[in-house]
Amino acid sequence: MDTLELIKDEEIKNESVSISGSVAVLEALIAEGVTEIFGYPGGAIMPIYDALYDYESKLNHILVRHEQGGIHAAQGFARASGRTGVVFATSGPGATNLVTGLADAQIDSTPIVCITGQVFAHLLGTDAFQETDVINITTPVTKWNYQVTDASEIPSVLAKAFYIAGSGRPGPVLIDITKNAQLQLFDYKGYTKCNHIRSYRPVPIVRKEYVEEAAKLINEAKKPFVIFGQGIILGKAEKEFAAFIEKGNLPAAWTIMGMSAIPTNHPLGVGMLGMHGNYGPNVLTNECDVLIAVGMRFDDRVTGRLDKYAKQAKVIHLDIDPSEIDKNVKTTVPVWGDCKETLPMLTALLDKKENKEWLQKFADYAKEEETTCIIPDLHPATEELSMGEVIKTLNELTAGNAIIVTDVGQHQMVACRYAKYNNSKSNITSGGLGTMGFALPAAIGAKFGAPESTVVAIIGDGGVQMTIQELGTIMQTGVDIKILILNNRFLGMVRQWQELFHEKRYSFTNIQSPDFVKVAAAYGIDGKKVSARNDLSSSLKEMLNHKGSFLLEVIVGKENNVFPMVPQGCSVSEIRLK
């Protein structure tokens, strides 16, 4: 009987058996319910890949074309599925290629476990071939990292890794395993999931008196305003949040990471916050008397100038991470804890209110924005297509039921402004780090994470060229994603700033691109290019109905801008409509 048969044998499952560290890694993944791994093999992680050969029926390994593509795919998987993503990479450049994705996952609170191979333990510190000090490199961009040099540590270390990555405020964890530990045989006594680590408290204790203070402030408020982030989604508290705002008739605006926590057509949803957010939510932040922040971190793109941000308001901040309280905005009442627990407690103490006049102010600002910004965006008078009308047409065809994965730039802001969502976890974007190249691999991961959903990657002509090699991953796996490239022949967001703040000095933002349809064809992916308004709807419909992946390149206006806009260094109430 070989090792694999021993592990599978229920009669002796709890007895000690001798297995390699590599097999222990794979057994840990199975015990944690992992089904997909995104990775790229190499010398230092070869023993794990050798063991993986015998696990193909249980673990689906997706061979990416670059390690950065692998970690972005794992992010997309985690964001769409609500589960922890897993990445394999080798030592040296394989590990360092994960750093951008780790930083992205850290700031956007995405649960990922990265397993990297490392040189033999006796070679550590000798500048051996493909040796890099990955632990010190990744310490600032991981929730936890650890180097394994002895195989016997693997089960307990990976149990901790999954627990830390997925508990409390989620984040990325990296486990670096030396090659000798992968090859080493040890007495394996089974795998036990971790549910407690001394000195690590993932969820702070809820203080009931703070909940009561918060409820009192809301009940006394004349102009209460709720702003919410991804914490609602990560906490699986969508229903609790809806009940909270509905009982108090509280206007609620979302960050780009919080988008889709409630349907975009919810009557109390007043739009998006931030630099390119909606007019009313930004202006009225500086008019509300009580500001209730739920699961968001007061990012600078949301607040603008902090010394002019909501100074008139009493601030209630609900967050699972105590370090976010008072970090950027001084809080009147902090409500620590998991919002799935704290929101019902708060809702129970709320008075039912109308807030008609206050809600009408949001409606009035929305009408002004519609006239000045939205109608020209969605119904342009020019012959050139606008990004807004592309998103509008996509909405009509998907009915708000697709998962939209956006890259970074103007197209991202336009999609976040106009895309419609009915379901949670259907807006996937790089929020905090703003990583160009994110969307294509993240869309691949999202489709593996939510295989029954339509996944549309909306990408600019600049960002797509940063990870375009992942078309090879699509070719090899046959994964079905829809790739929508909005091509304005510029690095559009930087160009907009150059136009508005640098006297149209377009310094190296005019970008030439290949024939994207031909590139896709080289990877066996069907595609089409469209520039005429009359062809837009039928082309989008063809993309969505196509069996298998499809690339649609849409040529849009070259110098269109995204408004409203809060200029850098200004307050949110200084938002420009044009």
Catalytic residues: 67, 129-130, 179, 493
Token code pair at residue 535: 């062809």
Rounded CA gap, 311 and 453, in Å? 43
CB-side neighbour CA atoms (13 Å) of 72: 33
- The three-state DSSP-derived secondary structure of 264-281 is CCCCCEEEECCCCCCHHH
Do 565 and 575 touch, CB atoms closer than 8 A?
yes
Whole-angstrom Cα distance, residue 491 to residue 73?
24
CA 99, 101, 105: angle at the middle one, nearest 5?
Answer: 115
| Geometric angle at alpha carbon 154, from 151 and 156, rounded to 5° | 135
Report DSSP letters for 146-165, one per residue. EEE-SGGGHHHHHHHHHHHH
Q: What is the CA radius of gyration of the chain?
A: 25
Order across the sheet with 269-272: list the strands. Answer: 269-272, 252-254, 224-228, 290-294, 314-319, 333-336
Tell me whether residue 208 is exposed, middle or buried, using C-beta atoms within 10 angstroms of its C-beta: 0 to 12, 13 to 18, 19 or more.
exposed
Distance CA 387, CA 413 (A): 10
Measuring CA to CA, which residue among 45, 59, 49 is closest to residue 95? 45
Short-list 196, 220, 243, 208, CA closest to 336: 208
Q: How many CA atoms lie within 13 A of 550 on its CB side?
A: 18
Residue 101, amino acid: G
Task: Count Cβ atoms below 10 Å from residue 105 Cβ, excluding itself.
Answer: 33
Q: Using CB atoms within 10 A of its CB, is residue 360 exposed (0-12), middle (13-18) or buried (19+)?
A: exposed
70 and 42 in contact (C-beta within 8 Å)?
Answer: no
